[in-house]
Amino acid sequence: MTLALETVELRRNFGALAVTDNVSLKIPVGARHALIGPNGAGKTTLINLLTGVLRPSSGRILLGDEDITAYSPDRRVRRGLARTFQINQLFADMRVLENLGVAVHERRGMGSTWWRRARAEADVLELAGRFGLTQVLEQRVADLSYGQQRLVEIALAFACRPRVMLLDEPAAGVPEAEREDILAVVAALPEDVTVLLIEHDMDLVFRFARSMSVLVAGAVLVEGSPAEVAANPRVREVYLGEGGHG
């Protein structure tokens, strides 16, 4: 079984503290893998390492067969690894159509084309349809509701046609009324896209993930299917008091 994403003893130190401590993940193609852990466990650091925002202190990262450890963030995206951010990172003053357009241009290798006008590519319209954004294409992202902005956030990552998507708490901060849209969109991601989901919310994890890892103090504590992990006494210990909800 080929692996979509693999880390080999990935380590990141901040001074004497190992924020990421010998993490070795093996994520097969098409997986729906969740990564959970208490606050401060190092989940976001791990994502930053995977996407190239942070350099590891040691260890390697493999995307498919390719060693991407030394790649810049944008190069990793071109190789097929995209992410969303826990707090929306969008181009707030540009329209939705332009936000998606930039990503589509890059993917199609047209990002540096300066000699003709940019326009709404077919891909952008298709993306908007998939994410329910067709009505708001002409609006400035800053004028959208938070839930709609979150949809743009995920759509931006998907626009890169990634092989692996890293979703950092996709439903975070979204009001109840708009949560279902987010969850539906995540559930509807194509099967050939591997999804690594960072989450706090156990509901979401159980609905969506087929496998998961528990990260505590930078190291992987336990791995397995959601049912196995939930039944694991060490996990219960770590989450004592949090019950079933993040």
Partner 1 sequence: MRRWGEWVFWVVVAAAYFLLPSRSMLIAEIATTALFALSLDLVLGYAGILSLGHAAFFGLGAYAAGIAAKNGYGDPLLGLALAAAVAAAVGAVTSLLVLRGSDLTRLMVTLGVASILYELANRLSWLTGGADGLQDMDVGPVLGRFDFDLGGRVAAAYCLIVLFLAFLFVRLLVRSPFGWSLRAIRGNALRASAIGVPVNRRLIAAYTVGAGLAGIAGALLAQSTQFVSLDVLAFHRSADILLVLVIGGVGWLYGGLVGAVVFKLMQDLLSQLTPQYWELWIGLLLIAIVLVGRERITALFRPHAAPAPAE
CA neighbor of 194 nearest in space, from 2, 4, 55: 4
CA neighbor of 139 nearest in space, from 98, 80, 183: 98
What is the Cα–Cα distance from 139 to 161, expressed in whole angstroms? 24
Shortest Cβ distance from residue 125 to partner 1 (Å)? 16
> Among residues 37 and 162, whose Cβ is nearest to partner 1?
162
> Among residues 65 and 93, whose Cβ is nearest to partner 1?
93
Q: Taking the chain, what is the end-to-end CA distance rounded to the nearest angstrom? A: 32
Q: Which stretch binds partner 1 (CB under 8 A): 17-25, 157-165, 205-213, 228-236?
A: 157-165
CA neighbor of 147 nearest in space, from 174, 129, 128, 183: 174
Q: Let me know how many helices (H) and strands (E) the chain has, helices first.
A: 9, 11
Phi, psi of 60 (to 5 degrees): -135, 160
Kindly tell me which residue out of 77, 182, 197, 202 binds partner 1, with binding defined by CB under 8 A.
77
> Among residues 113 and 135, whose Cβ is nearest to partner 1?
113
Query: What is the DSSP secondary-structure string of 75-101?
Result: HHHHHTEEE--SS----TTSBHHHHHH
Shortest Cβ distance from residue 49 to partner 1 (Å)? 14
Amino acid identity, position 237: E
63 binds partner 1 (CB under 8 A): no
> Among residues 83 and 200, whose Cβ is nearest to partner 1?
83
Kindly tell me which residue out of 160, 183, 196, 221 binds partner 1, with binding defined by CB under 8 A.
160
What is the Cα–Cα distance from 143 to 95, expressed in whole angstroms? 9
Q: Which stretch binds partner 1 (CB under 8 A): 14-22, 78-86, 193-201, 213-221?
A: 78-86
Site for partner 1 in 174-233 (CB under 8 A): none
In this structure, are residues 90 and 99 in contact, taking their beta carbons and an 8 Å threshold? yes
Site for partner 1 in 90-119 (CB under 8 A): 90-94, 98-99, 101-103, 105-107, 110-118
87 binds partner 1 (CB under 8 A): no
245 binds partner 1 (CB under 8 A): no
Kindly tell me which residue out of 36, 61, 82, 221 binds partner 1, with binding defined by CB under 8 A.
82
In this structure, are residues 10 and 23 in contact, taking their beta carbons and an 8 Å threshold? yes
85 binds partner 1 (CB under 8 A): yes
CA neighbor of 205 nearest in space, from 234, 157, 169: 169
> Among residues 71 and 208, whose Cβ is nearest to partner 1?
71
What is the Cα–Cα distance from 112 to 98, expressed in whole angstroms? 15
Residues in the site for partner 1, rule: CB under 8 A?
51, 53, 72-74, 77-78, 82-83, 85, 89-94, 98-99, 101-103, 105-107, 110-118, 140, 156-157, 159-160
